[in-house]
Amino acid sequence: MVATGAPEKKYISKFPMMGTIVSLTLFEKNPDVVNDVNDYLVKMDAVFSANRDDSELSKVNQAAGLHPVTVSRSCYELVADALTYTNRFADSFNVLIGPLVKTWKIGFGGRQVPDDSQIDRALKLIEPGKVTLNPQDHTIFLRDRGMQLDLGAIAKGYFADRIIERLKNAGIRNAIINLGGNVQVLGDNPFSNDLYWNIGIRDPEREDGSSAAIVHTKAQTFVTSGIRERYFKANGHVYHHILSPATGYPVNNDIIQVTIITANSELAEVLSTVCFFHGVAGGKAIIEKTPGVEAIFINQQNQLIHTSGLIKISKGVYLNE
C-alpha cells in the first residue's frame, strides 16, 4: 500500500556528467525541471571541471604564481567554503591537494607509486595560507607556481544543495538526486505509508550495486567515501585515492567506507573525508559531537558500526529519526 494520493509513476532522468551518471527522480512529469537541472550541471561543469582547460577552476590553477583570476559567484563561493573547511580540518581536508592528486593519478591512469622526491615537491604546494581571496572583486590568487585547487571532495555536495534549492523554487515537493556517491532526497516518499525513504548503503565488497544496509529516514543527504572505487595494486599493496595532506600517501587505517547522513550535502561531503582520515573510533567521536549528523562506518572486516542517532530495527535496517 502507498500513501494516500500517491503518484502512480516515478520519472527518472539520467545525465552523463562529471565522470559519473547523475540521476534525477521526480514523481510528476516535468521536462522543464529536468532541463533546468541538466543546464545547471552543464554550467557547473564549465566552471569547476578539472579536466577542461577552459573551466574557471583550470584558469585559476593555470594562473598560479602569476596573477589573480576573476571568477563567477559560484566558483568564488565554493572555493571560499572549501578553504574554510581546510582551515577547520587541517589534518584531513585540504582543497590545495591538487598537485598530490596529479602526482599519483589514481583513477586517471596512474599505476605507479611516486618516489619520495615527487611527493615532497607536491606537499610543498598544498599550503592553504598561500591562497588570496578578494570578496569584492571575486578574484582568487594562488601565490606559488604549481599550486592547484582540487574541489573533488566537496563539489558534488555544493551541486546537490543548489539543485535541491532549484527544485523547491520550481514547486517540486518530492525528488531524489543522485550524483554518484552523493544521494539527496527532497520532501516525503510518496510510495511509503509513513512517508519515509529507504536509502541503501552500498556494500563495498560487491560490485553489483547491492546494499550492506538500509536506512529508513526522513529527507536527508547521504554521502559515501570509500577506497574500493579508485585504486591500483603494486608490489603487493593497494593504493587508493584518498590521500593524506600530511604524508602524501593514501590513508591507511581500519576504514573501508564511511557514509554521512545529514541535511547539508556540502558538509556531508567534507565530513565523509574527515571521518575517513580519523578511523572508525575517531570518526564516530567527531560525528557524535556534531548535531544533526549521523554516520555508518564499514571496517576492514566488513562490519557496520553506526552512530547513536541511528537505531537498528532489524538485520541490516536502521531507523534515522
Q: Is 260 helix (H, G, I), strand (E, B) or coil?
A: strand
237 or 60: which leads in pLDDT: 60
Mean pLDDT of the chain: 93
Give 214's DSSP letter. Answer: E
Q: Could you tell me the pTM of the whole model?
A: 0.93
* Residue 4 confidence (pLDDT) above 60: no
Alpha-carbon torsion (105, 107, 108, 109), positive or negative: positive
- Cα separations (Å) of 126 from 15, 40, 100? 33, 30, 8
What was the pLDDT predicted at 107? 73
Distance CA 216, CA 204 (A): 20
Query: Tens of pLDDT along 287-304?
Result: 999 999 999 999 999 999
Mean pLDDT for the stretch of residues 303-316:
94
Domains of the chain, first to last: 49-142 (1.10.3980.10), 196-320 (3.10.520.10)
- Cα separations (Å) of 233 from 20, 49, 179, 301? 23, 27, 27, 20
What was the pLDDT predicted at 156? 95
Query: Tens of pLDDT along 161-210?
Result: 999 999 999 999 999 999 988 999 999 999 999 999 999 999 988 877 78
Query: What confidence tier does 146 reach under pLDDT thresholds 50, 70, 90?
Result: very high
Distance CA 113, CA 39 (A): 39
On the CB side of 253, CA atoms within 13 Å amount to 21
**CA-angle at 185, arms to 183 and 188, nearest 5°:** 155
Q: Is 281 helix (H, G, I), strand (E, B) or coil?
A: helix
Query: What confidence tier does 50 reach under pLDDT thresholds 50, 70, 90?
Result: confident
Is residue 321 within a helix (H) or strand (E), and if so which, with residue range?
none
The residue with cell 585504486 is 231
By the 10 Å C-beta count (0-12 exposed, 13-18 middle, 19+ buried), 32 is classed as: exposed
Q: Centre a 10 Å sphere on the Cβ of residue 117 and count the other Cβ atoms it contains.
A: 8
Q: Centre a 10 Å sphere on the Cβ of residue 75 and count the other Cβ atoms it contains.
A: 23
Give 243's DSSP letter. Answer: B
Distance CA 309, CA 128 (A): 34
Please compute Rg for the chain using Cα positions: 20
Query: What confidence tier does 7 reach under pLDDT thresholds 50, 70, 90?
Result: low
On the CB side of 165, CA atoms within 13 Å amount to 9
Query: Tens of pLDDT along 207-253?
Result: 777 899 999 999 999 999 988 777 788 877 888 888 999 999 999 89
Q: Which of 50, 138, 134 is nearest to 95 (CA)?
A: 50
The annotation places the binding site at: 153, 273
What was the pLDDT predicted at 8? 61
Query: Tens of pLDDT along 244-282?
Result: 999 999 998 999 999 999 999 999 999 999 999 999 999
* Residue 98 confidence (pLDDT) above 80: yes
- Cα separations (Å) of 124 from 130, 186, 232, 245, 247? 11, 42, 25, 10, 11
Distance CA 66, CA 68 (A): 7
The annotation places the binding site for Mg(2+) at: 153, 273
